Chain A
Amino acid sequence: MTRRAAVVAGIVVFVLAAGAVTSAFAQVGPLGGLRAPAATGVVGWILAEQALFYRALSGLIRAAKTDGSAYWGLMGISFVYGIFHAAGPGHGKAVISSYLLANEETWRRGIALSFASALLQALTAVVIVAVAAVLIGATAKMMGDTVRVIEIVSYALIVLLGARLLWVKGRGFLHALYAVRSGSKPAATAGAEHHAHPAHDAHAYRDHHDHAYKEHTHHGHAHDHHNYDDEEESALPWGHAHGPELEELAGPGGWHRGLSAIVAVGLRPCSGAIIVLVFALAQGLFLAGIASTFVMGLGTAITVAAIATLAVAAKAAAKRFATTRAGHGSLVLRGVEVGAALLVMAFGVLLLTGTMASERMGMF
């Protein structure tokens, strides 16, 4: 079991690191001279499909001018386009997933975060075009510049989010490290070390139940309860050696906490949505454009939510492995959290410095 835990933790760290490295180096700008490989295989196919859907949108918007039934086609294509489109960069998949890895979140919250950020993205696109194009009569360049400013704010927020996570998770890691250092003591006396946190027992109990609940709802496993409890019990003093103040941040509820992630990720609108909206406006079908944007956002949300759910499941699996081993297991878990927090911050920095491309507004 311990070997397996180590293997899993190793793979998680490796994949995260590899992801960070490739996104850093594969995304050197045009002047860097590094040529990206063409999208091939399944990903290439998805991208080819989404490109087809995107191009079909213009025809459908034109058709909707004269043919009311084209609206249905427009909404259908918008939805499917949203689903496929979110496979590309941007749309906060990486940031949201890393955020979920760093935190103790339920899959429900993961999905809620994904939907909220995707819908916020649609909303900012609509607001930008409504204000800039409809009210002010701004040019494409002005809209592009606006998006650029929003983008910088959004990326800076991602850096801040990562920094805060790193601060919280870094302390959790140090806590776990301290616990492992003094780990030769028997578990019974270990509890005494944490007398500084009077709520420890209560919170551990709550956390354990919460955890069990999550396991059941998510995977539909019929766990042997007794057995599971025993497992959890033995790991408890170490597995949850962090203080209650961390538990507050990691635990359920606290919608405002997720809000920072939603805003950081959802602020930057999708370039495609803005182009579609302006095109719809030029065709005199702005409302159809707005509807299409939100339906697209819904599709995007589904893809992001699917990936977010995998991130939550991965975290839950990692936690399970970790809790089967006292001391080191918890250390590995906290280590993964610190790694994910670092990743959120790294994404923010790479996006902010333009090293990692998110989306571009065409050629402006």
Chain B
Amino acid sequence: MLYRFVFLIIGMACLFAGTQRADAHPHVWVTMTEELLYAPDGSVTGVRHAWTFDDMFSAFATEGIEQKTKGEFAREELAPLAKVNVESLKDYAYFTYARVDGKRHKDAFLEPIDYYLDYDPKDTVLTLHFTLPFKTPVKAKAIEVEVYDPEFFIDFGFAEKDPIRLVSAPAQCIASIEKPNDGNFPATLRLDQAFQTSEANAGMGASFANKISVTCP
């Protein structure tokens, strides 16, 4: 009887686990390099994204697009796709979340400008470039920008080389990045570490967010 009971509970737990969001699995990987744009008065005017998609998604995204040269896509040929991309991203708040002096800055951005797609024929990957201007330029001691997909269908990760650049920022501003401690780099994730992570994360509202922090004392 007892073992039946345990069996039942385990079964139910599996059912239950299967419906939870944390089980989401990405089908798209994005490697990003980010720029924060500064106005001469030292305020931040916007965020410039450069998101490189993985090769499988890039092949999927470019399917059916006409090309003059096989294996290559000119920027103009990709223009309609870039438009579709930024328009679709609006529904997801561009996966970009800003915090000013520790406070969440909701609905912070205008529609994207200067957007285009690049295709790298060697790596066969697409890179989406777009700028998100702040509705009102932000002047603060601490600005944080996070990039993540809350549903985790897209796995965002910083580029290994120069992931963040401050464009014409005041000299005293310092940028740092914070990577999620799991998810993005599964190659380094071992089972024992996974358990550690799970304990460390308990109650901390941990996420797979990639955080850019800039402080201008």
Which residues of A are in contact with B by a Cβ distance under 8 Å? Answer: 4, 8, 11-12, 15-16, 18-20, 22-23, 26-27, 29-31, 33-45, 47-52, 54-55, 57-58, 85, 87-89, 93-94, 97-98, 133, 137-143, 271-272, 274-276, 278-279, 281-283, 307, 310-311, 313-314, 317-318, 320, 347, 356-357, 359-360, 362-364
Contacts and interface: CB of A to CB of B under 8 A. Distances in A.
A353 to B, nearest CB: 15
15 contacts: A35-B209, A38-B207, A40-B197, A54-B25, A88-B23, A139-B65, A275-B57, A278-B60, A278-B63, A357-B24, A362-B61, A363-B28, A363-B85, A363-B88, A364-B88
Interface stretch (B32-40, B144-152, B160-168): B144-152
A307 B195 CA distance: 24
Given A93-B18, A138-B63, A362-B27, 10 more contacts: A8-B5, A33-B104, A35-B207, A36-B22, A47-B25, A51-B155, A87-B18, A87-B23, A139-B64, A317-B7
Contacts of A11: 8-9, 12
A356 B21 CA distance: 9
Interface string B125-168: 00000000000000000000000111111110000000000000
A31 B93 CA distance: 7
Contacts of B74: none
B64 A137 contact: yes
Contact of A48 (B14, B63, B183): B183
Nearest to B208: A38
Given A43-B23, A314-B7, A314-B12, A38 B154 contact: no
Contact of B21 (A20, A26, A281): A26
A42 B20 CA distance: 14
B178 to A, nearest CB: 13
Contact of B182 (A40, A140, A313): A40
A257 B34 CA distance: 54
Contacts of A307: 11, 14-15, 18
Contacts of B153: 271, 357, 359-360, 362
Closest 3 CB pairs of A and B: A310-B11, A40-B198, A48-B186
Contacts of B103: none
Residues of B in contact with A, size category: 35 or more
B152 A36 contact: yes
B24 A88 contact: yes
A209 to B, nearest CB: 21
A44 B61 contact: no
A310 B4 CA distance: 11
A310 B25 contact: no
B21 A27 contact: yes
A40 B60 CA distance: 29
B217 interface: no
A82 to B, nearest CB: 12
Given A40-B194, A44-B197, A310-B11, A26 B20 contact: yes
B102 interface: no
A58 B54 contact: yes
Contacts of B63: 133, 138-140, 143, 278, 281-282
Interface of B: 1, 4-5, 7-29, 54-57, 59-65, 81, 84-85, 88-89, 91-93, 95, 104, 106, 148-155, 180-183, 186-187, 189, 191, 194-195, 197-198, 201, 205-209
Contact of A15 (B12, B27, B92, B181): B12
A39 B184 CA distance: 11
Given A34-B150, A313-B7, A362-B61, A43 B92 contact: no
Contact of A43 (B17, B57, B152, B189): B17
Contacts of A51: 25-26, 155, 186
A362 B56 contact: no
Contact of B183 (A12, A44, A311, A356): A44
Nearest to B185: A48
A363 B151 CA distance: 12
Nearest to B29: A55
B65 to A, nearest CB: 6
Nearest to B19: A23
A311 B15 contact: yes
A362 B154 CA distance: 7
A332 B147 CA distance: 47
Nearest to B202: A40
A44 B26 contact: no
Contacts of A8: 5, 8
Contacts of A140: 60-64, 81
A164 B10 CA distance: 28
Nearest to A88: B25
A4 B2 CA distance: 10
Nearest to B92: A30
A272 B198 CA distance: 27
A128 B67 CA distance: 23
Nearest to B195: A41
